Each structure stands twice: as C-alpha cells, then as structure tokens.
C-alpha cells in the first residue's frame, strides 16, 4: 500500500530550484479511505471494550463486529476500485496529472515533466 502511495506522490523540481509537492488525486482518495477505516476500527475497539467492561449481552459484540467488517470491506473495495480504474485501465499517464509544469522541459517525455505521476 505504501509503495502505491509513494508512486502516486509527485515531486516537481521547479526552475527556481525549490521543491513543490503535489498530491495525486488517487493518493488523496486512498488517504481518506484509510483514515475512515482507521476511525471505524478505533470506534469498534472502544465499543467492544465498553461492552466487555459492562458485561452486556454478547449479541451486541457480534453485531458491532459484523458492522465493522462490512464497513472495512466496503472502503477497501473502494480503494482497490479507484486504483484499478485510474492507474491500470488508464494507460495515458497525462490523463492522471492535475497539472504539469514541465511539458516543454528539454530531455523529458512530452506531457510527463521531469517526473511523471507514475513510473511505467
């Protein structure tokens, strides 16, 4: 997962010789989905701990676990679908870029700049 994120992260080296970091839209979606999953898991852990401490009915724990599994699966599937649709099916790398400051830089591929979004 981290390798995919790093490949979706673009570093522009500007002519003024400073770094400008641009976030790829897919990386943003992946980060949001991961944060949602982490929040859901933390909430479930808290609920399970409270239920165990209060020694409530075990059925509540089972219901919470089922809800968590469904939510996590939905978000993981969302991340995978976004990555597959944008990265794998879209073969034109320039379609993935938000903006390209280096289309006319000598020695680079047209539309890719000094570093493209993906190394293919």
Residues 110, 113, 114: CA angle, nearest 5 degrees = 130
Tens-level pLDDT at each residue, the chain (120 residues): 555 555 555 444 444 444 445 556 667 777 777 777 788 778 777 777 777 777 666 666 777 777 778 877 887 777 777 777 766 665 544 444 444 444 445 554 454 444 444 444
Ramachandran angles phi, psi of 49, nearest 5°: -60, -45
- How many beta carbons lie within 10 A of that of residue 37, not counting itself? 19
DSSP category for residue 88: I
- Residue spans per domain, the chain: 25-96
Q: Is this prediction's pTM over 0.85?
A: no
């Amino acid at each position: 997962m981290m390798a995919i994120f790093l490949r979706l992260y673009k570093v522009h080296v500007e002519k003024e010789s400073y770094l400008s970091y641009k976030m790829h839209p897919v990386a943003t979606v992946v980060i949001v989905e991961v944060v949602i999953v982490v929040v859901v898991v933390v909430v479930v852990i808290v609920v399970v701990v409270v239920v165990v401490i209060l020694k409530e009915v075990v059925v509540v724990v089972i219901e919470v676990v089922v809800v968590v599994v469904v939510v996590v699966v939905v978000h993981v599937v969302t991340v995978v679908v976004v990555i597959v649709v944008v990265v794998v099916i879209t073969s034109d790398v320039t379609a993935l870029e938000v903006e390209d400051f280096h289309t006319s830089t000598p020695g680079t591929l047209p539309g890719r700049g000094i570093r493209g979004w993906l190394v293919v």
